[in-house]
Amino acid sequence: MKICIVSRVDLKDPIELAQSLGWMLTDTGHEVVYENSVAAELGYDGVSLSSLSFSADLVVVFGGDGSVLRAVRMLLRQIPIVGVNQGRIGFLTDLEREHAGDVLSQLALPLAVAPRMRISIEHDGNPLGSALNEAVIVTSRPAKMLQFETFVDGEKMGEFRADGLIIGTPTGSTAYAMSAGGPIVDPLIEAFVLVPLAPFMLSSRPHLISSRSEIEVQLVSSKPAQLVLDGQVQHEIEEEVSLRVWKSREPALFLDVGRSFFEKVEQKLRLL
Residues 135, 233: one domain?
yes
The closest of 35, 61, 56 to 46, measured between CA atoms, is 35
Q: Name the active-site residue from 13, 45, 65, 230.
A: 65
Which domain, by its residues, includes 62?
2-116+251-269
Task: Compute the residue count for the chain.
Answer: 272
Phi then psi for 258, rounded to 5 degrees? Answer: 85, 15
Residues 123, 240: one domain?
yes
Q: What percent of the chain has pLDDT over 90?
A: 79
Type of residue at 57: D
Domain count, the chain: 2
**Between residues 193 and 139, which one has the greater pLDDT?**
193
Residue 72's domain is classified under what CATH number? Answer: 3.40.50.10330
Residues 71, 145: one domain?
no
Residues 238, 140: one domain?
yes
Residues 128, 106: one domain?
no
pLDDT digits (tens, 9 = 90+) for 24-72: 999 999 999 999 999 999 999 999 999 999 999 999 999 999 999 999 9
Residues 71, 157: one domain?
no
Q: Looking at residues 94-110, what average pLDDT do you find? A: 91
Cβ within 8 Å of residue 23, ≥6 positions away: none
Question: CA-CA distance, 137 to 162, in Å (whole number)?
Answer: 10
Is residue 65 flagged as an active site residue? Answer: yes
Cβ within 8 Å of residue 28, ≥6 positions away: 105
Residues 8, 111: one domain?
yes
Residues 241, 126: one domain?
yes
Residues 130, 78: one domain?
no
Question: CA-CA distance, 112 to 169, in Å (whole number)?
Answer: 22
